[in-house]
Each structure stands twice: as C-alpha cells, then as structure tokens.
Amino acid sequence: MDIIRLLPDSVANQIAAGEVVQRPASVVKELMENSIDAGAKHIQIILKNAGKTSIQVIDDGKGMSPQDARMAFERHATSKISAAQDLFNIHTLGFRGEALPSIASVAEVEIKTRQAHEELGSFICIAASEIKSQELVNTSQGTNIIVKNLFYNIPARRKFLKSDTTELRNITTEFSRIALTCPHIAFTLIHNGSTIYQLPASNLRQRIIHIFGKNINSKLIPIQCETELTQITGFICSPQQARKTYGEQFFFVNNRFMKHQFFHKAVMEAYSGLINPESIPSYFIYFTVAPSDIDINIHPTKTEIKFQNESDFFQILMATLKEALGKFNITPPLDFDTEGQLPYQSISPKQSTPYVPHITYKAGYNPFHYHNQTLSPEDSDFEVSAPKQTYEKKGVPANWDILFDGVQEEKTIQATIPNIIEPIKPTVPNTSCHFQLKGRYIVTPVQSGLMLIDQKRAHERILYEKYLTELHTQKKNSQKTLFPELLELSAEDFLLIEELLPDLEYLGFELNVFGKNCYAIHATPADLSYNHTKEILIELIEYYKNTERNIRNKAQERIALSLAKASAIHYDSTLTCEEMTLLVDQLFACETQNFTADGKTILHILQYEEVNNWFS
Ligand code: ADP
Ligand code: MG
C-alpha cells in the first residue's frame, strides 16, 4: 500500500512559517522588505500590542494586479526570480516567494493593493491559508497589508511569544536594520498610537543620527573603498566611542543586513591598539559585491551570508578601516588598561637587563593556613600556569611592574598565579600592621610572607557583597539629584528601559520620561557616585540586551558590581592605618577574598621563601 502523500498547501505553508515567521518582528521584516522591493518611497508600520494584535504596513509602491494579489499568497509565488540562475543574480530583498503564504498560514491577513494605472484596487481577506473573500475596492496606490492575531491558530506558538516590550524591541531591531539600508525611503513606526520612529528620506549619516541620536554625529568616520572585488562604504565610529558592550554593529551586503563574525574580527583588528580589547566599536559597513560572489540562499531568515574569497574581503575591510582611522589622525594611546594605571612617568626607565620574575607556587597550597603546613622543596618548585583566559585578554596584570619595582619585557613574563579558583576561606591576618604601597596596595606581613592587597579591588569585593545582600533583601535608598541628568537613548534602548524600570526603582534609581527617547534621572542609589549613573544605566541596558533570562538576579549582581566598582575607593587615595585595618577586616569577612566579582585578583602573597631566594 502506498503511504506517501503530498501535504496540503496549508500544512506545507505552516511548516515553512516555522522558519520564516518566528515572531512579530519577522513579519515586520518581510513586509517592509516587500514594500522596498515594490519601490515604495514612504513606508508606514502601525503596530498594536507589539504586533501580537496587529501589524499593518502601508506603502506607496507599485502595488499588485488583482490576479497577482491572489497569486502572492501561493507557495513559491514570486515576481522576483523565475529561473535557477537568477538565484545568483539577486537584486531584491525577497526572492523565495515564501513570506506571504507563510504569514497567511499562521494569521489573519487583509490586503488592499492597487497599481498606478488601475482605477480600482483589490481587497483580499485570508486566514489560515484560506481565501475568505476577494473584491474590488477603492484604495490608494500601493499596498496596505494588515496581519492580525499572529499564531491565532497555533496556540503553542502564540504562547511562546515574549512580553510586549521584548517583542517590540525585536521589531525595532529589525526595523533599524532595514531603515539603515535605504535612507532615501521615509519610514514611520507607530506603536499603540505613539510614534516611535519618524524617519524622513535623507542620506545615510542623517539616517544614523535619526535612529541613534544626535550624539553619534561627531563620532562618525566615513569609510570608502573601491576594489575589483568589492566596494565598501559607510561609517565607523571613533575609538573613544567604543564601549564594553555598548554600540551598534551593522554589516550590510548589497543592502541586506548580515551577521559576519569573521568580518567583525577584521574590524576589531583594525581598531586593535586603539581601543581596550574588551570594547567594541560601533560601525555601519556596507559591502557592494557581485551577486555571484555571495550565496544568500543559506537560511530563510537570511542574516548569515556566505562569501567567496572571505579572506580577501577580510584584508580589504581591515585596510579600509585602518586607513579611515589613520586619516582621522588617531594614534594608539600608550596603554589601554586605564583602571588605576600609574602615570607613565612613574615607571622607572628601562633597565639594560630587565628583571624577569619567576614565581613558583604550590597548587593546593592555602596561603592563609599558616600552621601545620610546610613547603617541601619539591612543592616550592611546582609551577602552575595561569588559567588561560585570565591573561589572554588582558596581557600582563596591571600591577606587575609595581610588584617588582622594575620594568619587564612583556613577552618574557611567564605569568603564573596560584591555583585558587576554588574560593578558600582564609583566616583574618592577625595583625593591624599595614602600610600602603604607592597608594595602591595594602601590604601586611603574614606568616608565609608579605600579603599585598589591591585596595580598590578589595573595596569592590566588600561593597559588591554588601550591595548584593541589600538588593536581595531590601529596597535601596535613593538620593535625589539636584539637577536631573538626561539620558538620551535610541528608540530601541528607550523601550528597553521600560522593562528595567521596576528593578531600577527598587535599586534606588528614579527615572522619568523626558521628551522623545529621553529619560531624566531624578534620583540615584545612595552611595553611587553621581558621575557614574549614566554609565551604569547604559551598561545595564547593554547587559539586558545580551541576556534575556534570569534577568532580575543577574541584574542585581550586575548592578551590585557596577555600584561597587563605581563607589570603591580609588587608587592614590591615602588610607590611614585604621582605614586599612577596617578594609582588611571587612575583606576577610567576605564570602570570597581572592577575586573581585568580575574575576580580578585581589590579593597576593609574596612568599617568604621567594624573598629568601633573592638573597641567596
Ligand atoms: P518574495 O518577496 O520572496 O517574492 P513574498 O511572499 O514576500 O515573496 O511576496 C510574493 C510576491 O508578492 C512578491 O514577489 C511581489 O510580487 C508581491 N508583493 C508582495 N508584497 C508586495 C508589496 N508591498 N507591493 C507590491 N507587490 C508585493
Ligand atoms: Mg518578500
């Protein structure tokens, strides 16, 4: 008996929809792309409840004939390609003919469309792939499509949709990506009656400013390159603008947004030496290539694009960016680890034979258990190499030169640290005899040698644990700001803050909407240095952007860390003996003494044996 059957179209469409239509943002993207392909000059998007209730896209493009309007909902129906070889010569955003049938299989769709030369347009109503009605109507030129109740017929998928704020954020992300590809088209995005974006037709620079705020203007550096293989245009941002995670990274190829890890590396390489290796610069980079050089037929959502000769593109991109950065006369600063660095003058001049530190540790040795623990000669030769990631990013620890009071060749340093990844519970040093070394370290004699504590990091750890406990157990007190600072955001981040407001309030921030995409900061958590408020808020926004789960706990940790970092004593602040004792006592009352919450070493013991060796 034959058992293989062709699936009905409605089922096939639903299966395709599983890939093409993941959330309201995917619908917005597909419909916007269709409008662009139709040559629209103005595209308006009207959303209700983050697109869950309805997504309407109105364009003034070329419209469709009554027959085409019907055909458009057939599977693999497209006006954009007709033969296999066309796949290698694609100049439109769509080409699969999958979007409309997929959308219509999982939602209720109404479309009104009219071509310029027609007197009447057509109206089609379709739900779950079934045409409910088709008639002729009066309508303006172009297409007006409304997608209602997405996933109404697939409750499991509807339930899977995230909160309105998250879905709206996904929409604004897609929206920005598309709006950045065609500054000459005007866009309006309206959500529940309020206008989120109103982007006039303009040039690229203005489009970027309209989306990301006028502050970005002075940081934009134009890029331009023309080779046989590709043309590269767009903007990158000045290195000063690069932040830990803050920033907008956009690659486009033939005006289509793409993600490209490899090319991102080329950007990072071009900036290397100009920015902290952990920061990411913002960029808006547009490649134009022969359509035959790329394969966009990889994935229905089409953000990963395969290039031929990727490494050639890599080189061209890197050279282009280096040149642009060079033209702007930006030279690498001498040092990137700004956190508490000593001024350069204080580093002693290079010695002819630099001292190469060589430190040995016993892996399981607990520096705080003074008694009943002796080092055998073999033990003291035991060398533990540093966990790789600890030094890979940062290079040599910032405090190295001070520890050894001399300048070392960077490459000769064999960084070795004690293997105390497992937090150990040390006992409090039994002394109040401390002194401060160069306004940075608290030095205390202990049984096994000399303990050096990084004062800022120690304080960070203390405050971190304090804030975290507070955040878990009680609302944080606020301090009112005398002159509210303004936090200007992109529309996307502005929406995101809404999601954070309850947590932020709990933590002592008070933010009120102040005009378009702007918040006024009326109060900040007590203890938080006023100067850091904006920085922390931006950090938090970025943090939220990159993580979606477990937000509250993580946010508390993050906020505690930011607060601690911002409020901790600085290097170069002179501490009295009592203050040092207090700091050390408090550090040893912490859950963990060895590392800060972001993994930096707080204390180190200079072994007595090691000192002895110097004099042997
Ligand atoms: P694709 O865009 O891949 O061709 P779609 O399912 O998105 O597939 O659209 C099918 C066809 O419907 C398109 O090829 C185009 O001819 C027509 N179409 C869709 N949207 C519009 C629009 N806004 N204006 C004019 N024609 C449209
Ligand atoms: Mg399409």
CB 97 within 8 A of CB 75: yes
Is 26's C-beta closer than 6 angstroms to any atom of ligand 1?
A: no
Ligand nearest to the CA of 70: 1
pLDDT confidence of residue 94: 74
Q: State yes or no: pLDDT of 544 exceeds 80.
A: no
| Strand pairing class (220-226; 478-488) | unpaired
More confident of the two residues 452 and 20? 452
Closest-CA residue, ligand 1 atom 8, reads 97
pLDDT confidence of residue 507: 77
Termini Cα distance of the chain:
92
Mean pLDDT of 507-518: 87
Residue 314 is classified by DSSP as H
Q: State yes or no: pLDDT of 552 exceeds 90.
A: no
% pLDDT > 70, the chain: 77
% pLDDT > 90, the chain: 38
Compute, in angstroms, the gap from residue 171 CA to the centroid of ligand 2.
Answer: 17
pLDDT-derived band at 527, boundaries 50, 70, 90: low
pLDDT confidence of residue 345: 31
* 3 state SS of 396: coil
**Mean pLDDT, the chain, whole residue set:** 79
More confident of the two residues 321 and 417? 321
Q: Could you give the angle at which helices 533-546 and 551-567 cross, rounded to 10 degrees?
A: 150
CB 508 within 8 A of CB 526: yes
For 505, residues 6+ apart whose C-beta sits below 8 A from its C-beta are none
Q: State yes or no: pLDDT of 403 exceeds 50.
A: no
**170, burial (CB in 10 Å: exposed 0-12, middle 13-18, buried 19+):** buried
Compute, in angstroms, the gap from residue 202 CA to the centroid of ligand 2.
Answer: 24
pLDDT-derived band at 530, boundaries 50, 70, 90: low
Q: How many whole angstroms separate alpha carbon 121 and alpha carbon 143?
A: 9
The answer to which of 31-40, 410-419, 485-494 has the lowest mean pLDDT is 410-419
CB 46 within 8 A of CB 175: no
Q: How many whole angstroms separate alpha carbon 442 and alpha carbon 458?
A: 10
More confident of the two residues 288 and 497? 288
The answer to which of 140-149, 298-307, 367-376, 559-568 has the lowest mean pLDDT is 367-376
> Can you read off the two tokens belonging to residue 427?
């006992």
Residue pLDDT, tens place only, 37-67: 999 999 999 999 999 999 999 999 999 999 9
Best residue for ligand 1 mutational test, from 20, 34, 44, 297 (most atoms within 8 Å of Cβ): 34
Give residues whose Cβ lies within 5 Å of ion ligand 2.
34, 94, 99
Residue pLDDT, tens place only, 249-281: 999 999 889 988 899 999 999 998 888 777 889
Q: What residue ranges in 156-217 does DSSP mark as E strands?
A: 186-191, 194-199
Is 38's C-beta closer than 6 angstroms to any atom of ligand 1?
A: yes
Mean pLDDT of 472-484: 77
Q: How many whole angstroms separate alpha carbon 216 and alpha carbon 210?
A: 10
Other C-beta atoms lying within 10 Å of the C-beta of residue 12:
17
Q: 247 φ, ψ to 5°? A: 145, 165
Q: What is the CA radius of gyration of the chain?
A: 30
CB 444 within 8 A of CB 451: yes
Closest-CA residue, ligand 1 atom 14, reads 78
Residue pLDDT, tens place only, 339-376: 333 333 333 333 334 444 444 444 554 545 444 443 33
Compute, in angstroms, the gap from residue 112 CA to the centroid of ligand 2.
Answer: 16
395-409, 546-560, 597-611 — most confident range? 597-611
| Strand pairing class (249-253; 283-289) | parallel
Is 80's C-beta closer than 6 angstroms to any atom of ligand 1?
A: yes
